[in-house]
Structure 1
Amino acid sequence: MTTVRPNAFKIGDTFVTLIGDEVKVGDTAPSFTCVAPGWKKVRPLEESQGNVIILSAVPSLDTDVCDRETRRFNQEAAGLSDDIVIYTISTDSPMAQARWCGAAGIDKVNVVSDVVEAEFGEKYGLLIKERRYLRRAVFIVGRDGTLTYVNYLPSLGDEPDYDEVIAAAKAALNATTT
């Protein structure tokens, strides 16, 4: 049974309900299915198994902060090892994501949608019930499938500390290759 957490998060001055439990460093990253452009089902953790995976959860690519965040991770990805894979996950439709990615020139980040089943949102405690979109957060999954970094941003308008995320991803990569 999925946990429902009323008044767990604030959007502006209004408390909202989050669906699912938060995950923490050391947990096995919950597997989930999303959809890619063309409505193809994808399983990011299984498809990128053996790599370090950055999961960037955003409410909608059509907002300024989500736009900046995804573009920044796309820029960062160009300088990272091929053994670090980045996914941006939102509840935008796959068509809207494909349109946005084309216009933004996103070619290094895998952008997938949680719109159909909201499985990612529920399993990571991110789904905002009242709006059916995701709370902003960043997770890093080590090569062994364990969460090595978890950051639930305190506000939808806050951007992650990109340098911290990239450093944590590199540390996870080095921890599994030494």
Structure 2
Amino acid sequence: MANITLGGNPIQTVGNLPQAGTKAPDFKLTATDLSDKSLSDFEGSRLVLNIFPSIDTGTCAQSVRTFNEKASALENTKVLCISKDLPFAMARFCGAEGLDNVTNLSDYKTGDFGKSYGLTIANSALETLLSRCIVVIDTDGTILHTEQVGEIADEPNYEAALNALS
């Protein structure tokens, strides 16, 4: 279990992120059109999984904006923004912001993604939400880079995630 903080107060996740060099666990998430998406739907593309608690917080919204901006310059790379938000909220946010270089996916139905990736928050006011993490996956499904952000209110290290793709 990862030890992280929320406003400086210690909290934990249900496990640890998968290690770089291992195969990414498969997932079943819900897209904004309510269709199911799995890892195989993105086969052949490099992936940046931008994982966060809720699109309705400033830091989460900023991470989506930042990756949307940077994604347009990345070759054969898709940015998947993943939370437990309802797909409607994620579509509303990206529509209002004019963000179209990211794919929004939700773990709201089962929470299995958060459990299999070890990043569901185990305690605190945010219990059952997803912690702030980045997972970078190569075209063959191998994990290149992970980051469990230590303080939930902090932004991820965008450059480290993008550098893992070079």
Taking structure 2 as the reference length, the TM-score comes to 0.91
10-19 or 20-29, larger mean C-alpha shift: 10-19
Identity over aligned pairs, percent: 31
> 1:71 is matched with which residue?
65
Q: Would you say how many aligned residue pairs link Structure 1 and Structure 2?
A: 163
Of the candidates 1, 5, 10, which is equivalent to residue 10 of structure 1? 5
Is the contact between residue 53 and residue 60 of structure 2 (CA under 8 Å) also seen in structure 1? yes
> CA 1:164 to 1:14, structure 2 compared with 1: closer, same or farther past 3 Å?
closer
Q: Which amino acid aligns with 2:25?
A: P
Shift of 1:48: 1.0
Q: Contact 2:5–2:151 (CA<8 Å) still a contact in 1? A: yes
1:38 lines up with 2:38 in the alignment: no
1:135 Cα deviation after fit: 0.6
1:56 aligns with 2:50: yes
Equivalent of 2:116 in 117, 120, 123: 123
What SS does the corresponding residue of 1:39 show, helix, strand or coil?
Answer: coil
Q: Name stretches of at least 5 consecutive residues in structure 2 with no aligned partner.
A: none
For 1:166 and 1:17, the matched residues in 2 are separated by: 26
Q: Please list the CA deviations of residues 64-101 of structure 1 after superposition, one character each: whole Å capped at 9, or x if unmatched.
A: 001111001000011111x1111010110111111111
Q: CA deviation at 1:118?
A: 1.2
Within 5 Å, which residues of 2 pair with 1:1-178?
5=1, 8-43=3-38, 45-81=39-75, 83-130=76-123, 131-169=127-165, 171=166
**Structure 1: where are the runs of 5+ without partners?**
172-178
Q: Highest CA radius of gyration, 1 or 2?
A: 1
Deviation string 1:23-53 (CA, Å, 9 cap, x unpaired) is 111111000011012321111x211111111
Q: Is the 8 A contact 2:4 2:149 kept in 1?
A: no
TM-score, with structure 1 as normaliser: 0.85
Distance in 2 (alpha carbons) for counterparts of 1:52 and 1:86: 9
C-alpha contact 1:88 1:109 (8 A) present in aligned 2: yes
Paired residue type of 1:123: S
SS in 2 for 1:133: coil
RMSD over aligned CA atoms reads 1.5
